[in-house]
Amino acid sequence: MAPPAPSVQEATIHSNYGEKYADVNWDELGFSLTPTDYMFEMKCFQGEEFSQGNLIPYGKIELSPAAAILNYGQGLFEGLKAYRREDGHIVLFRPEQNAMRMKMGAERMCMTSPSVEQFIDAVKQTVLANKRWVPPPGKGSLYIRPLLMGSGSILGVAPAPEYTFLVYTSPVGNYYKGIGTPINLIVEDKLHRATPGGAGGVKTIANYSPVLQALTQAKSKGFSDVLFLDAKTGQNIEEVSACNIFIVKDKIISTPATLGTILPGVTRKSIIDIALDFGFQVEERVIPVEELMDADEVFCTGTAVVVNPVGSVTYQGIRVEYKTGVEAVSQKLCAMLTGIQTGRIEDNMGWTVEID
**291 contacts: CB under 8 Å, gap ≥ 6:** 247, 249, 254
The amino acid sitting at 279 is G
Phi, psi (deg, nearest 5) at residue 298: -140, 140
Q: Tell whether the torsion through CA atoms of 48, 50, 53 and 58 is positive or negative.
A: positive
Residue 207 DSSP label: G
**Cβ of 20: how many Cβ atoms within 10 Å?**
12
| Alpha-carbon gap, residue 181 to 334, rounded angstroms | 13
Distance CA 87, CA 106 (A): 37
DSSP-derived pairing of the beta strands 281-285 and 297-302:
unpaired
What value, to the nearest 5°, has the Cα angle with vertex 183 and ends 262 and 194? 20
209 in Cβ contact with 336 (< 8 Å)? no
DSSP calls for 246-276: EEEETTEEEEE--SSSS---HHHHHHHHHHH
* Annotation marks residue 203 as catalytic: yes
CA 12 to CA 81: how far, in whole Å? Answer: 18
Q: How far apart are the first and last CA of the chain?
A: 25
Three-class secondary structure of residue 158 per DSSP = coil
Contact 244, 301 (CB under 8 A): yes
Catalytic residue among 139, 203, 249, 332: 203
Active-site residues, by number, are: 203
